Amino acid sequence: MATLPRAAAAAAPSPAAALLPLPRAAPLLAGRAAARSAARRLRARGTRAPPLAAARRGWGGVSPRAVLDLPRRREAAEKPAQKAADLNEILSERGACGVGFVANLKNEPSFNIVRDALVALGCMEHRGGCGADNDSGDGSGLMSGIPWDLFNDWAKKQGLAPLDRTNTGVGMVFLPQDENSMEEAKAVVAKVFTDEGLEVLGWRTVPFNVSVVGRYAKETMPNIQQIFVKVAKEDNADDIERELYICRKLIERATKSASWADELYFCSLSSRTIVYKGMLRSEILGQFYLDLQNELYKSPFAIYHRRYSTNTSPRWPLAQPMRLLGHNGEINTIQGNLNWMRSREATLQSPVWRGREHEIRPFGDPKASDSANLDSTAELLLRSGRSPAEAMMILVPEAYKNHPTLSIKYPEVIDFYDYYKGQMEAWDGPALLLFSDGRTVGACLDRNGLRPARYWRTSDDFVYVASEVGVIPMDESKVVMKGRLGPGMMITVDLQTGQVLENTEVKKSVASANPYGSWLQQSTRSIKPVNFQSSVAMDNETVLRHQQAFGYSSEDVQMVIETMASQGKEPTFCMGDDIPLAVLSQKPHMLFDYFKQRFAQVTNPAIDPLREGLVMSLEVNIGKRRNILEVGPENADQVTLSSPVLNEGELESLLNDSKLKPKVLSTYFDIRKGLDGSLDKAIKVLCDEADAAVRNGSQLLVLSDRSEALEPTRPAIPILLAVGAIHQHLIQNGLRMSASIVADTAQCFSTHQFACLIGYGASAICPYLALETCRQWRLSNKTVNLMRNGKMPTVTIEQAQRNFIKAVKSGLLKILSKMGISLLSSYCGAQIFEIYGLGQEVVDLAFCGSVSKIGGLTLDELGRETLSFWVKAFSEDTAKRLENFGFIQSRPGGEYHANNPEMSKLLHKAVREKSDNAYTVYQQHLASRPVNVLRDLLELKSDRAPIPIGKVEPATSIVERFCTGGMSLGAISRETHEAIAIAMNRIGGKSNSGEGDVEDGYSPTLPHLKGLQNGDTATSAIKQVMMVALELAQLVQSSMLGVLGNLVFQKRTRVDGGFRSGLDVLMAAAMGADEYGFGSVAMIATGCVMARICHTNNCPVGVASQREELRARFPGVPGDLVNYFLFVAEEVRATLAQLGFEKLDDIIGRTDILKAKHVSLAKTQHIDLKYLLSSAGLPKWSSSQIRSQDVHSNGPVLDETILADPDISDAIENEKEVSKTFQIYNVDRAVCGRVAGVIAKKYGDTGFAGQLNITFTGSAGQSFGCFLTPGMNIRLVGEANDYVGKGMAGGELVVVPVEKTGFVPEDAAIVFVRGKTGERFAVRNSLGQAVVEGTGDHCCEYMTGGCVVVLGKVGRNVAAGMTGGLAYILDEDDTLVPKVNKEIVKMQRVNAPAGQMQLKGLIEAYVEKTGSEKGATILREWEAYLPLFWQLVPPSEEDSPEACAEFERVLAKQATTVQSAK
């Protein structure tokens, strides 16, 4: 059913849709959004709202429901050496949060505004995180105008003169806890102000209530004071703000070396704004800061923020808002953004700084969060003279390419974005940003719309923005405007003029300030596509020698390059990466293999590069990036590339661009005087050459390993090492912005290799040997014959190269999308990799800032490995074909694969015969394998005496800790799914697959599944208890998670990563794991024979196939997997007994029993295992106690109230009809989901004969009406948040507005039936019928059935991936055509009589349900409106009566044909 999609699509508001009645099993999505009535008393909850006076005494402590229920009373408004950012420092400082603002358009300060902000903040507690003490928050805060009345009252009591509001700056300061350190810090702060000519008026201790602070927060709580300074030497308000900014930077410098430096933090220092924040839950903020309860605290606006820190311990300074921004989301390109900002430090200049630019450096802090660094960069632009809106447009640009509205109506906005595209890489990732400089308040959303944002305006001149609707009690009759921020959209409020600007108004105003279009025309060049070479450039022998020298294997050529050349897409393999890490392997590896791509963290999903590619771009700019603080035509003097992958002709075009002054640098090193030191020397020479070239004006450095003749004593420097080293050298010397780096290399042919080069600084790559390999392959006799015989699609030599580059580009988009990055320009230099197996000297030289936890190869060892490839091209006995290293497929003499045929045979014998001896042989096979993963370098040792095995906990207890990984039904067969699920249920473990039950030893849905027992159930036993779940490909130490501030000490930790034996379980336990996940080995135990053709759907034993005839061969039975896990558990028991421990609890977290083995590795002896062996301490609770905790409760749930109603329960039990009404609030999430579950559990999906008619009034939280089943008719009078109707399987859902709204619903742009739904409306709809009056982007995405009617405007990319169902869209202004993705669907007018009847019938039902005026108008003027509708038809519907105007004639013709055939 139609779903408003995944968490990151939270930008999609609830559907402004009406769900119409359907036949029993058909779900329906519908709704009309609405404003909710003001101030209702809680009903059906037994919750009593407190008196208003009592609530005002402590706004933070009132429950969200109680606060929302209060009567609303609106009063009259009142140059050092630069260094790359270190991933170790910035890793994980990200979050997903709740944010919003309240602003008065008359700029009149009022305590009510602060009160409203605290109320709204309290209603977003569910969007924040909480510590293990259940009291310390991840952070909450409030930014406002400076409360001068409050501070003047304080000044009067202190005997001070009234504060000069024009020239007084106020600092909100976190100071060190230690009293002596605090006094030292205050002295330094005061001295800096005094030296700058500012007068320190006094310090104020901020009053607070420490009793409400959680234990963890209290332990780290700073001293909190405010400092007041007079800036007498400046008169201009902007100059005053700049002076305060300089002072803060000088203070940071002056205290950098102090022992308490990290404890001194300015939340704000301004003459306009102030920030109150802390490591507090949202409802505590107002209780903690007593100022926020004081009615003298008045402000014309307030920004509020609740932080959810996904991967790190919260800290007081990391709470938000920051000094300018409140950020909900995460910046996935943060390391690259920091590196580029550091690179800019030498070039950033502006007259407004009066020559003091050097005093405000550095421009980023790797130890701060991504939000803090984005805030810092925005603040720099702001203090340099940019407006807040302009700064946001520069840093977080929208997806402006192929944007019909912008290109037609606002071309100047496109010019603005194109101009800055070459100046500033986007800070990319999901982001809702609220911002204020005290004069303007605004909000903007990232280019994908991956965070929700709603706004509304009232007749009494207030504007609100929030992550959710329903967070503030609202008199709907006063609401004159409602809207939602879609992808890339912005809204600003000018507090001085009272003007509200929506999206294009803001952007047009900013973009019109300069003639960006003229500048681009004058200076920006594009490299036009150049034809591919039509003949080979080398003979076969020369190509072979190059391939050997540069590290190619026969697998690389045949399975990677040739596949890409013939098919235009990346090759697909299976069974995962089960070969040894490159550093552990005995085979030589290219440098790229030591790098593992990191992917997006927790809070945001991957982007869809196939169907939502309009938000992504591979464009890059080549040339000098000048001073971004100045604006002029010279900044546009660059070359634009449509992609980073160049052919030889396009590289030549770049080399011929005289403005770039390109310099080609040869990347070889000389070993004639010996290998040791030669690579290091060559890199230093290369960096010096690059340095000199850039200082002499070169804007393009081409690093090339192209040579007319290869020389035995001059091997090529690994191109990734060369690129990284020059990139880092130029950063450190302040030259990086002056030139681009392009790699002209033979060493790059796979997508991962391209990604590595770009990630470490290359703007473009010409893979000349890979292209030559494509040409040679196409002209080979074998290929020619295969094409001639029709066994391979025919491609030309040019098409082969084009296909290869197409595959690389698609692969790059896929990599970007998995990281949540849209723009290659932001990925460039972002270093989003972890390194496994390179020593610190290599990292410091070329990959500074990247994580390399285990150390590894030195430069000389890396040179030796490089040489091992090179010599293959010059040996007298050089083979006439490339070597097969066996990295992809297991083969005799090739690389070792952990999942190999011998292993699977031994395991099958053990589990099928239930033979201890056979399992012992299996164990011996694993013990004798080559070093494969990091844990193979460790062993278990104990100083305890062995104990009898009878004293060790039983195997039945141990197996309950075992889990199997989530595997999609498309990846493996249903039989494999169910066999695994049944086995795990038998042993009490957890599976992440399977459904259904078994009776009489037979499953009617799975006739091929054998070995069943009565009572077997295939229902997944995974319970989503709060836990830290890690996928550890190489078992990175889980005990290190203790740094999460005791989180792990109360939450279970589950790990996996190639587990195959009891020894693996014990290693993981010693590192801190409570539960143990098994992946591939579980499939092997059920019958997999390691054919390694899973991806072809041809699995010979039906384990990984959907083909019925192959599934019939499935050999596995659940008992085999049970036997395997019992064997593993017995192995664990035996080892525990040998170590002297009675139970797993006794060793969990005991890294002291792990010892490094003395293993001689082929490549290096510099592996450092301290990271794996260090301990974060032992938990207070045992693992069993942690695992046996009661499931975390979310408190009172509305569904429980509904189910407790005797009439409802009677109707469900006895299949009756009942009608009920309930009040609903934004904190009520997933309402009706549990009710639907109770019905489905008792009656199945379609068996319920009763009917529940439930009406809700108010503002519904996320996922309202989710998982509805037939017989549930749900109506909401009010408004709703994201995901309305998620996962519906039937029933009816109607959303309508309250009566007497203060605005025309057609004008709203959120959830009202006469407004718009959000992004991705009806995504994956398979059966539902929906009518709405407007949608955001990506409407009907991946739709497979049903019918959607849209009576208004839609966003871009309509019907992407739509393979079934029909859509009818009203196009009154002739703007729809460019918005439709026509890759699959075709557009046609509604000509078929059946289609016209379907459309009219749906609108009639819709009007009856919702009273829609727009729908009624259409029906009254049907003949005029019908020609304005477009029908979107996928191929599967072309012959349906609704889409085929001549359906009857076609049907008659088909009948005649059938009759004549008889």
Distance CA(142)–CA(320), nearest Å, equals 7
Distance CA(428)–CA(397), nearest Å, equals 9
CA 167 to chain centroid, in Å, comes to 43
In the chain, what's the furthest Cα-to-Cα distance?
A: 109
CA dihedral for 828, 831, 832, 837, sign (positive or negative): positive
Strand 1386-1389 versus strand 1429-1433 pairing type: antiparallel
Q: Is 97 a catalytic residue?
A: yes
Closest CA to 833 of 756, 895, 885: 756
b/e burial code for range 795-814 (CB count within 10 A of at least 16 → b): bebbbbbbbbbbbbbbbbbb
Helices (H) and strands (E) counted in the chain, each on its own, are 46, 44
Distance CA(236)–CA(229), nearest Å, equals 16
Residues in the chain: 1462
Stretch (H or E) spanning 1081: helix 1080-1085
Query: Is residue 257 classed exposed, middle or buried when 0-12, 13-18 and 19+ CB atoms within 10 A define those classes?
Result: exposed
Distance CA(512)–CA(642), nearest Å, equals 26
CA dihedral for 855, 860, 865, 869, sign (positive or negative): positive
Distance CA(794)–CA(787), nearest Å, equals 5
**Whole-angstrom Cα Rg for the chain:** 33
Q: DSSP state, 561?
A: I
> Hey, is 1442 helix, strand or coil?
coil
Stretch (H or E) spanning 1222: strand 1217-1224
Stretch (H or E) spanning 326: strand 325-329
Distance CA(795)–CA(1241), nearest Å, equals 56
Kindly list the distances between the CA atom of residue 1446 and the CA atoms of 1347, 1393, 1453, in Å, as whole numbers in the listed order.
20, 9, 11
User: Who contacts 860 (Cβ-Cβ below 8 Å, separation ≥6)?
Assistant: 675, 676, 677, 679, 680
CB 37 within 8 A of CB 1298: yes
> Hey, is 584 helix, strand or coil?
coil
Distance in Å from the first CA to the final CA of the chain: 42
Taking the CB of residue 71, how many other CB atoms lie within 10 A of it? 11
Strand 740-744 versus strand 700-704 pairing type: parallel
Q: Helices in 1116-1274 by DSSP H: which ranges? A: 1118-1139, 1170-1173, 1183-1187, 1198-1204, 1206-1214, 1233-1243
For helices 768-779 and 781-788, the axis angle rounded to 10 degrees is 60
Distance CA(447)–CA(1337), nearest Å, equals 11
Question: What phi and psi, each to the nearest 5 degrees, are found at residue 652?
Answer: -65, -40
Taking the CB of residue 592, how many other CB atoms lie within 10 A of it? 21
Which of the following is catalytic: 97, 687, 774, 1444? 97
Strand 98-104 versus strand 265-270 pairing type: unpaired
Q: Helices in 255-304 by DSSP H: which ranges? A: 282-288
CB 1073 within 8 A of CB 1038: yes
Q: Which residues are catalytic?
A: 97
